[in-house]
Structure 1
């Protein structure tokens, strides 16, 4: 879930109404390509059952299905999910995917017993970060993996994350602190950079990446 160059009311930024309206503004918001950190960290994992939280238009779910995963995408936006289903059908993987409208912040139940849970650029409120991270992690079966990717606070200096505000951006430490050591083995807690295209040319941005295996 990302809001670059798009002003969002923080009081309503997680609602279905906000995101349905956001997706309805154009035929496509995202590139249609899988998130690069997902590809980097999951490509070598044995396929199983995967859950993508905040799946948007479904590019990550489609990519997972193409790699042999049985993948479920959940999102708060019905508009996004309809678009995601069309993407899967166009890619010929509709029999390997499922879609559910889930409002994570409202406490909707997540599908469980997953070999992989991927959370790409979902930025919970600070006061609920640990709670929501643990609840999303609870969808991972023992031996499975949790991958959390977010925008790093260093990006405030680039000017491309203004709608988030400083509190919503997070470092790997915030994620790992929410994962009890007796339940999780942290395999990666990194801050890699990449080029991000803008109207004024590419900008170097920093990602927060945490990959953990449930014990």
Structure 2
């Protein structure tokens, strides 16, 4: 399932090449449920793809830094933000997160399905994501908990880390973080051929304590 040596930008630029939309254009459901009740502030969207999450946040009043490794994805996201008239509220940056990470601290750092068949130093990236959370801010990580039924044999053979494994990989000083939610959640989804299924996701939601503006423990 993985191609750890393949260049990430090359892979994802090829993935987002062409004119057809890849994703639905709808905000990720767990982000919407969690962020709907939050006061807007500064948000970091890691792996923004075609920009649906960043656009939704901007429409809710957030100032968003949206990051992706693919220049093609960022072009699509900018065009969508311009069409929805929120482009002034979103700043786009290209980063291969295994090598570079956006500067600043944020009230919300969101990593939605940050998986890659190309090179991705995922544990390191998620630790940097935690470091980017401002005091009192939230870190939201949503992962696939299992392969969808329409996925191939290799996907079903892949080990999907449990939420507790993802949390352990962050290596946080738990005295400086409040655990709000760590577990699984289900959502309805539609497959590439129109088939429907209930999928299982991991949801990790943590709040940095107001006096916890310290980097993750090593």
Could you say which TM-score interval applies, normalised by the shorter chain? Answer: 0.7 to 0.9
Deviates more, 1:51-60 or 1:170-179: 170-179
CA deviations over 1:36-76 (Å, ceiling 9, x no partner): 01001111111000000000000000000000000110000
The aligned counterpart of 1:116 is 108
> 1:124: how far off?
6.7
Query: Post-superposition shift, 1:202?
Result: 0.6
Alignment of 1:24-63 (within 5 A): 24-63=17-56
Change (3 A) 1:95 1:162: farther
Deviates more, 1:180-189 or 1:77-86: 180-189
Equivalences for residues 1-215 of structure 1 within 5 A: 10-12=3-5, 15-106=8-99, 108-123=100-115, 128-153=121-146, 155=147, 158-160=149-151, 164=155, 166-167=158-159, 169-177=160-168, 178=170, 179-198=172-191, 199=193, 201-215=195-209
Change (3 A) 1:35 1:185: same
Where structure 2 has 5 or more consecutive residues not aligned to the other structure, the ranges are 210-218
CA deviation profile, 1:5-55 (whole Å, cap 9, x unmatched): xxx652356610000001014421011110001001111111000000000
TM-score normalised according to structure 1 size: 0.86
- Report the TM-score when normalising by structure 2: 0.85
When the two chains are superposed, the root-mean-square deviation of aligned CA atoms in Å is 2.2
Call closer, same or farther: CA 1:139–1:162 in 2, change over 3 Å: farther
Query: Alpha carbons of 1:191 and 1:82: their partners in 2 closer, same or farther (altered >3 Å)?
Result: same
Q: How many residues align?
A: 203
Q: Which residue of 2 aligns with 1:5?
A: none
CA gap 1:160/1:196 in 2 versus in 1, 3 angstroms: farther
